Amino acid sequence: MLHLSSLFHGRRRRWLYGLFSLILAFSIGLTNVIPAHAVSWFELLIRGAQIIQLSRISDQQEVELGSQINEELIKSGQAKIYPNRALTKYINNIGQQLARTSSRPNISYTFQVVDDRSINAFATMGGFVYINTGLILKADNEAELASVIGHEIGHIVGRHAIEQMRERAIAQGVLSTAGLDTSQAVQIGVELALTRRNSRQDELEADRFGLENLTKAGYAPSGMLGFMQKLLEAGGGSTPTFLSTHPATSERIELLEQSIDPKTANVGKGLDKQAYKSQIRHL
Ligand code: ZN
């Protein structure tokens, strides 16, 4: 005690008081559950720059956020990654080819297979794309599968998830003038990944980007139209999940028919059914 008190003199004393109160405040901050909308300036200070301005998010921040959403999706078991290296490598190869020829080739992309037999695919942000095993099985060839991946990349190119995150944060009253707290952004990102219903406008834009991307990567554009028509017909009373999260199907088909020249529809790679079957034989 005596020893310690001798330290509490002059500048040193003030400095130590400061340090102790900082440690105290920090431990209070850690043990108390503070409602996220009431995050204090002090907490923000010790957490560092963890507030995101969605309106001017940098590529690096977006990739980091996408990575944290990915971690949470996997950790919580909401996205169960299919544990097959060869298949993941195959899907990732297709995705990386498309990413390179997309209108947003400068960020890193991660393509993962989700162990889920429902026919669906989704993208979050910062290059994270997920394809269900059910959708891989539904496609008849690589061009069809690539068209879906291209469409999902289109959502990332159009930064659709960021805009939806902004809207959701406003609706939940958690967007402050300073921005959005990272942990809440991750939480909203996870919700959106699983339940998002894309707007008609976003769908049409993702199709436009996707078709352009598919063609540039050398795939036969017919894959996109073919797969979309197949989904619509597949219904049999139950709508494939992909169509409920990616609406406006008949309008999309119509626009694709107008955009694809029948003369060149089948020009390009990815139409070999047998080769595709062999690539996905692990499923
Ligand atoms: Zn979509």
Query: How confident is the prediction along the chain (283 residues), in pLDDT tens digits per residue?
Result: 444 444 444 455 555 555 555 554 544 444 444 444 455 555 555 555 578 888 889 999 999 999 999 999 999 999 999 999 999 999 999 999 999 999 999 999 999 999 999 999 999 999 999 999 999 999 999 999 999 999 999 999 999 999 999 999 999 999 988 889 999 999 999 999 988 888 889 999 999 999 999 999 999 999 999 999 888 887 555 667 787 777 778 889 999 999 999 999 999 999 999 999 999 998 9
Q: Give the C-alpha separation, 258 to 54, whole Å.
A: 35
The tokens for 102 are 């997309």
Q: What is the pLDDT of residue 255?
A: 92
| Cα separation values, 134 from 138, 206, 209, 241, 279, Å | 6, 21, 24, 10, 15
Compute φ and ψ for 52, nearest 5 degrees. -110, 135
Dihedral of alpha carbons 158, 159, 163, 168, sign: positive
Q: What DSSP string describes 71-82? A: HHHHHTTSS-B-
Q: Are 237 and 186 in contact (CB under 8 A)?
A: no
**From ligand 1's centre to the CA of 50, what distance in Å?**
29
Concerning whether 272 is annotated as a catalytic residue, the answer is no
Tokens 């991307």 appear where?
A: 213
Report which of 265, 182, 158 is spatially closest to residue 219, judged by C-alpha positions: 265
Q: Give the C-alpha separation, 81 to 99, whole Å.
A: 21
Q: Which of 43, 62, 144, 152 is catalytic?
A: 152
Dihedral of alpha carbons 57, 61, 63, 65, sign: negative
Residue 31 lies in a domain: no
Domain that holds residue 151: 54-279
Residue 109 lies in a domain: yes
Exposure of 33 by Cβ count < 10 A (0-12 exposed, 13-18 middle, 19+ buried)? Answer: exposed
Residue 116 lies in a domain: yes
The number of distinct structural domains making up the chain is 1
Residue 211 lies in a domain: yes
Dihedral of alpha carbons 157, 163, 169, 172, sign: negative
Greatest alpha-carbon span in the chain: 92
Concerning whether 207 is annotated as a catalytic residue, the answer is yes
Q: In what order do the strands lie in the sheet with 110-114?
A: 110-114, 128-132, 121-123
Residue 106 lies in a domain: yes
| Cα separation values, 118 from 136, 141, 239, 241, 252, Å | 10, 18, 10, 6, 21
Residues forming beta bridges with residue 181, ordered by sequence position: 51
Residue 136 lies in a domain: yes
**Would you give the DSSP letter of residue 141?**
S
Determine the residue type at 99. Answer: A
Q: Are 122 and 152 in contact (CB under 8 A)?
A: yes
Q: Which of 181, 203, 207, 212 is catalytic?
A: 207
Q: Give the C-alpha separation, 231 to 139, whole Å.
A: 9
Q: What is the pLDDT of residues 222-258, one digit of tens each?
A: 999 999 988 888 755 566 778 777 777 888 999 999 9
Residue 122 lies in a domain: yes
**From ligand 1's centre to the CA of 151, what distance in Å?**
6
Q: What is the pLDDT of residue 167?
A: 94
**From ligand 1's centre to the CA of 100, what distance in Å?**
20
DSSP E strands, 32-164: 51-52, 110-114, 121-123, 128-132
**From ligand 1's centre to the CA of 160, what distance in Å?**
9
The tokens for 236 are 């049999």
Q: Are 161 and 194 in contact (CB under 8 A)?
A: no
Q: What is the pLDDT of residue 192?
A: 95
**From ligand 1's centre to the CA of 58, what distance in Å?**
23
Residue 39 lies in a domain: no
